[in-house]
A and B are shown apart, each in its own frame.
Chain A
Amino acid sequence: MDCVVLPSRQLRRPLANLCRSCSRRILPRPSRSYASAASAQPDIYDVVCVGGGPAGLSLLTALRSNPTTAGLRVALVEAQDLSKTRSWKLPPDRYSNRCSSLTPTSALFLDRVGAWRHVRRARVQPYHEMQVWDGVTDARIEFEWDPAASQEKTKTKTIAYMTENLNLTSGLLSRIDELGGVDVYEGVKVEKITLGEDKEELDLSEWPIVQLAGGKQLAARLLVGADGANSPVRAFAGIESRGWDYGRHGVVATLELEGPGWGGDDMKIAYQRFLPTGPVAMLPMPGNYSTLVWSTTPSNAALLKSLSAKDFIALVNAAFRLSPVDLTFMHTLSSGQDDELSWRLQHTQFDSQAVPQTVVGVQEGTVASFPLKMRHADTYIGERVALVGDAAHTIHPLAGQGLNQGQGDVASLARTIEYAVSHGQDLGARMSLEPYNAERYAANHVLLGVCDKLHKVYSAGSGPLVPLRSLGLRAVNAMGPLKGFFMDQAAGNGIKFPSKLF
Chain B
Amino acid sequence: MPPRTGALVPRQLCRNTAVSLRPIRLVAPTSSRSFSASAPAPAPKSHPTDSTFSSVSPDEVSHFNALASSWWDPQGPSRILHLMNPLRHDFIRSCRSSVLDDPPPPLTGLKYLDIGCGGGIFAESATRLPTTASVTAIDPSSKVLSVAKAHARRDPALRSKLTYLNTPIEQLPVPDIPQDGYDVVSVFEVIEHVSHPAQFLDRCTPFVKPGGWLVLSTIARTWMSWLTTNVIAEDLLRIVPRGTHDWRKYINEEELRGHFLQKRTGWAEPRCMGVVYVPGLGWKEVSGSEKVGNYFFGVRRIAEPT
Contacts and interface: CB of A to CB of B under 8 A. Distances in A.
Contact of B281 (A419, A430, A431, A500): A500
A476 interface: no
B153 A201 contact: yes
A202 interface: yes
Interface stretch (A15-23, A123-131, A337-345, A421-429): A421-429
Interface string B127-151: 1111000000000000000000010
B89 interface: yes
Contacts of B150: 203
Contacts of A426: 124, 128, 155
B154 A424 contact: no
A3 interface: yes
Contacts of A90: none
B227 interface: no
B74 A431 contact: yes
Nearest to B280: A502
A203 B153 contact: yes
Contacts of A419: 86
Of the four ranges (under 10, 10 to 19, 20 to 34, 35 or more), the interface on chain A belongs to 20 to 34
B83 interface: yes
Interface string B263-306: 00000000000000001111000000000000000000000000
Task: Choose among A201, A206, A207, A502 the residue with the greatest number of B CB atoms under 10 Å from its CB.
Answer: A502
Interface stretch (B15-23, B44-52, B57-65, B156-164): B156-164
Interface residues of B, number: 27
Contacts of B129: 1, 424
Contacts of B156: 3-5, 44, 202, 204
A136 B280 CA distance: 46
Contact of A204 (B127, B130, B154): B154
Nearest to B122: A424
B248 to A, nearest CB: 29
Interface string A232-270: 000000000000000000000000000000000000000
Contacts of B282: 500, 502
B163 to A, nearest CB: 14
Nearest to A4: B156
Given A4-B157, A425-B85, 4 more contacts: A3-B156, A44-B156, A201-B153, A426-B128
Interface of A: 1-5, 44, 71, 201-207, 221, 419, 421-426, 429-431, 498, 500-502
Interface of B: 74, 79, 82-83, 85-86, 89-90, 124-130, 150, 153-157, 159-160, 279-282
29 contacts: A1-B128, A1-B129, A1-B130, A1-B157, A2-B130, A4-B156, A4-B157, A44-B156, A201-B159, A203-B153, A207-B154, A221-B155, A422-B89, A423-B85, A423-B90, A424-B85, A424-B124, A424-B129, A425-B86, A425-B128, A426-B128, A429-B74, A431-B82, A498-B280, A500-B281, A501-B280, A502-B79, A502-B279, A502-B282
